[in-house]
Amino acid sequence: MISIPSAIEGYQNSFKEIQSSFEEEGFSLGGGYTYDHGYFDHPLDWEERHGYRYYLRIPTQAIQGELDQPNTKVKLGRPFVIKHEFLTDNDPTANSGLLTGFVSQFSKPISVEDHEIDQKWIERAQNLLHQLESKFQVSS
């Protein structure tokens, strides 16, 4: 994870306005959000096919109300770049069997402690952040 300082950190507005602006730039609200916080994600390496993906991730926190409500006031946190690895083939460590297939559909996470994030993904993330700063009319 690489933290990237940005002028959007601390920016506040309604969830509806922020979500709309992020979606216009190709971001999506990650599926693991809760009523009080979540992350807007943008893949940085959309043109490549491999067993991992780099994302620009921007935390958002509900200040008043619940995160998925249009009028909820939210605040953006410090953006960061992450590398998310996933398997593209069968998991050689997975248990097989009909019952296991119904219960355990996901493999264990692959360790990413030794993997660095290439500078080109950080630069791409910074370019996206500059676009957002212009959209939100905040300056760095």
Question: pLDDT tens digits, residue range 36-84?
Answer: 999 999 999 876 666 568 899 999 999 999 988 999 999 999 999 988 7
Q: Which residues of 40-62 are buried (b: 16+ CB within 10 A; e: fewer)?
A: bbbbbbeeeeeeebbbbbbebeb
- Other beta carbons within 10 angstroms of residue 36's beta carbon come to 14
State phi, psi for 71 to the nearest 5 degrees: -90, 0
Residue that wins the pLDDT comparison between 42 and 88: 42
Question: What's the CATH number where 103 sits?
Answer: 3.30.310.100
Question: pLDDT tens digits, residue range 91-112?
Answer: 555 555 555 554 444 444 444 4
Question: pLDDT tens digits, residue range 114-124?
Answer: 567 889 999 99
Domain that holds residue 76: 2-88+96-136
Mean pLDDT of the 125-137 span:
93
Q: What is the pTM of this model?
A: 0.77
Residues 6+ apart with CB under 8 A from 110: 85, 86, 87
CA distances from 116 to 42, 47, 52, 107, 113 (A): 19, 20, 13, 22, 8
Mean pLDDT of the 4-16 span:
96
Q: Give the chain's domain count.
A: 1
Cα–Cα distance measured from residue 114 to residue 30, given in angstroms and rounded to the nearest whole number = 25
Residues 6+ apart with CB under 8 A from 106: none
